[in-house]
Amino acid sequence: MIRASLVIASILVTACSPSSAVDDGGGDDGGADADTTFSYTPQGCSYTVTLPGSRGFQNVALDDGAPVTDTAGATPVRVRIGLGGGTSGADPKTTAVFTWESAAQSNTAEVKIGTSVYKGHVWTTPPPTIGFGTTEPPVYMHEVHVCGLTAGTTYQYQVGGGAAGADVWSASASFATLPQAGAITLGVSGDSRDDASVFQMVQQRFHDAGVAMQLFSGDFVLWGSQASLYQTWLDSASPTRGTQILLPVAGNHENSSSQFYGNFALPGDDSPFAEQFFSVDIGSAHVVMFDDQEISTEPTIDESQALLQFIDADLTKAEANRANVPFLVVVHHRAEFGNGVHSTDSDEIQARTTLSPLWDKHHVDLVINGHEHNYERSQPITGPASAPVVQTDATKGTTYVVCAGAGATSESTKGATSYDAKQVSFDGNTPYVGVYATMALDAHTLTWTAYGLQASGSDPTIDTFTLTR
């Protein structure tokens, strides 16, 4: 696959505030300016929204409140909820980001919550110029960042916009912000790329379990530059889409594509690599998430070095705050200590040797990966990466989990290692069609429970463990 930043021309726009007009440069492309980056501060938010030029988004503009002349074309579809904020410090207790598509281009980007209306921005994600997806149409996107919400509160909302009497809105839906304190349960999955029906089953399980939000470890679709695949998979996510915050990271199949970053709202606003790495406090866990494509293949380039500097600085601060947020959790795609078919691949070895010393340095509790299509858990271990050492005290080592079965075809493992605690496949020799997990957090415990997904709906527990701090 060819990296999106190499195949999609960069088109950039400038904006100053939610009410600022975007300079259209006298052209017909919605304000392309090759020398600047679109950036604005959403109303009521303490952070900026920045679209890096490398994404190649076109027709970027703020909501203009104009009449909607094509109400069918402007109808919101595939509403999803993400999270905005700085590269560090995003807050799912008080903020949410609503993203949706429409069949035709319009500058409508508003969210109604009660009597309040919040305005955002729009853009067009063009198809890549080569590779998968080149013959597909552009995708018309809309996004609104909402700040100043109350923790632990359920809200009714609608998305859409337009001048009064000439506007269009979605049906009313609800979502809940995370609580200020107390127990929180998250849904965790990864690698949905091959079967949308399995992904839908996982989403139904998370809906039935009432998880507060979801973490996804990459490979959402098979070809990351093919927009229609995201549409199919998002349609299949209807049990939870638009009701729960979803924070995914890109996997190797997304390949850092513009289509991936156009589909999901992620924290990160102060870097040319915005949204590629970020951290967020979720209850008693400080969670670091990142796209590991470059660090695994080109570790010396600027993007990789920026990621390493971010991780080191961010975890240094998180360690100092451990009295308040005790657990350190990392989510990225490639399985650092998995024992599957990719465990001897050069990119996975590069991820392992580059990243695991950082987890040792900062005493990270849990690393969640995908990429190997199975379920695996290590004992708490420390380096060296070539010969991991098992620690009897879990607080002295890092537990590595591969949970990659939300639709991907099964892959075998290479047998147990000295540091394995659990291995479960979901191939034709098992009753499972996939795997997923929940992570329950309270003040001093992190309880992980993994399930074997069965079409019947009776999913047995295949693994569980508890970390205490």
Domains and CATH numbers, the chain: 4-176 (2.60.40.10), 184-468 (3.60.21.10)
pLDDT (average), residues 314-343: 96
Query: Mapping DSSP to helix (H, G, I), strand (E, B) and coil, where does residue 406 land?
Result: coil
Q: Which two tokens stand for residue 311?
A: 């991780």
pLDDT score of 31 more than 60: no
* Rounded CA separation 334/317 (Å): 25
- Does 19 score more than 60 pLDDT? no
Residue-level pLDDT at 16: 30
Q: For the chain, what is the mean pLDDT?
A: 91
Of the candidates 146, 136, 73, 83, the one whose C-alpha atom is nearest the C-alpha of residue 107 is 73
Predicted local confidence at residue 278, as pLDDT:
97
Q: What is the pTM of this model?
A: 0.92
260: exposed, middle or buried (C-beta count within 10 Å: 0-12, 13-18, 19+)?
Answer: buried
CB 42 within 8 A of CB 49: yes
Q: What is the per-residue pLDDT for 412?
A: 85
Closest CA to 406 of 216, 277, 254: 216
Read off the pLDDT of each residue in 140-159 and give the average, rounded to a whole number. 98
User: Residue 143: helix, strand or coil by DSSP?
Assistant: strand
374 touches 399 (CB < 8 A)? no
Strands 327-331 and 381-382: unpaired
Task: State the CB neighbour count (10 A cutoff) for residue 171.
Answer: 9
Residue 33 has pLDDT above 70, yes or no: no
Residue 276 DSSP code: S
| CA-to-CA separations, 207 to 13, 200, 204, 243, in angstroms, rounded | 38, 10, 5, 9
The fraction of the chain above a pLDDT of 90, given in percent, is 86
Q: What are phi and psi of 151, to 5 degrees?
A: -60, 145
Burial class (CB in 10 A: 0-12, 13-18, 19+), 275: buried
Q: What does the alpha-carbon distance between residue 421 and residue 227 come to, in Å, rounded to a whole number?
A: 38
pLDDT reported for residue 270: 66
Query: Which class for 69: exposed (0-12), middle (13-18), buried (19 or more C-beta within 10 A)?
Result: exposed
CA separation for the pair 115, 109 (Å, rounded):
16
Residues 6+ apart with CB under 8 A from 386: 353
Beta strands in 177-333 (DSSP E): 184-189, 213-216, 245-248, 277-282, 285-290, 327-331
**pLDDT (tens digit per residue) in 93-131:** 999 999 999 999 999 999 999 999 999 999 999 999 999
Q: What percent of the chain has pLDDT over 70?
A: 92
Per-residue pLDDT band at 53 (split at 50, 70, 90): confident
- The pLDDT of residue 195 is above 60: yes
Q: Is the pLDDT at 272 greater than 80, yes or no? A: yes
Question: Measured on CA atoms in the order 356, 357, 360, 365, is the torsion positive or negative?
Answer: negative
C-alpha span between 278 and 47 (Å, rounded): 14
Whether the per-residue pLDDT at 15 is higher than 60: the answer is no
Residue found by looking up tokens 């069609």 in the block: 433
Q: Which of 401, 400, 399, 406 is nearest to 452 (CA)?
A: 406
pLDDT value at position 54? 86
Element (H, E) at 358: helix 346-361
d(CA 366, CA 437): 14
Average pLDDT rounded to a whole number, residues 349-353: 96
Query: What angle in degrees, to the nearest 10, is found between the helix axes of 346-361 and 302-320?
Result: 30
Task: Calculate mean pLDDT across residues 160-186.
Answer: 96
Work out whether strand 49-51 and strand 38-40 pair parallel, antiparallel, or are unpaired: antiparallel
Confidence of residue 89 (pLDDT cuts 50, 70, 90): confident
Say if residue 384 is preceded by a cis peptide, omega within 30 of 0: yes
Q: CB-based contacts of 312: which residues, under 8 Å, 6+ apart?
A: 358, 361, 362
Whole-angstrom distance, CA of residue 149 vs CA of residue 3: 37
